[in-house]
Amino acid sequence: MPQPLTLSSLPLFPLGSVLFPGGLLALRVFEVRYLDMVRKCHRAGAPFGVVALREGKEVRQAGAAQEQFGDVGTLATIEALDTPQPGLITLLCRGTQRFRILRRTQLTHGLWTADVEQIDDDVAVQVPDDLRMTATALAQVLQTLRQREQGAPHLDAPTAAQLEDCGWVANRWCELLPVPLELKQRLMELETPLVRLELVGDVLERTGIAPTL
The pLDDT confidence band at residue 213, using thresholds 50, 70 and 90, is very low
Distance of alpha carbon 143 from alpha carbon 147, whole angstroms? 6
Domain boundaries, the chain: 6-118, 129-212
The DSSP output letter for 30 is: -
Residue closest to 95 by CA, chosen among 154, 4, 187, 24: 24
Superfamily of domain 129-212: BPP1347 like domain (1.10.4060.10)
DSSP strand E in 56-165: where?
Answer: 68-69, 72-85, 88-106, 112-118
* Distance, C-alpha 18 to centroid of its chain: 5
CATH architecture of 6-118: Roll (2.30)
CA distance 132 to 102: 37
List, for residues 6-62, the tens digit of each pLDDT value: 778 999 999 999 999 999 999 999 998 999 999 999 999 999 999 999 988 877 766
| Contact assessment for residue 45 and residue 82, using Cβ atoms and an 8 Å cutoff | no
Report pLDDT digits (tens) over 75-131.
Answer: 999 999 999 999 999 999 999 999 999 999 999 888 999 999 999 999 999 999 999
The pLDDT confidence band at residue 212, using thresholds 50, 70 and 90, is very low
Length of the chain: 213
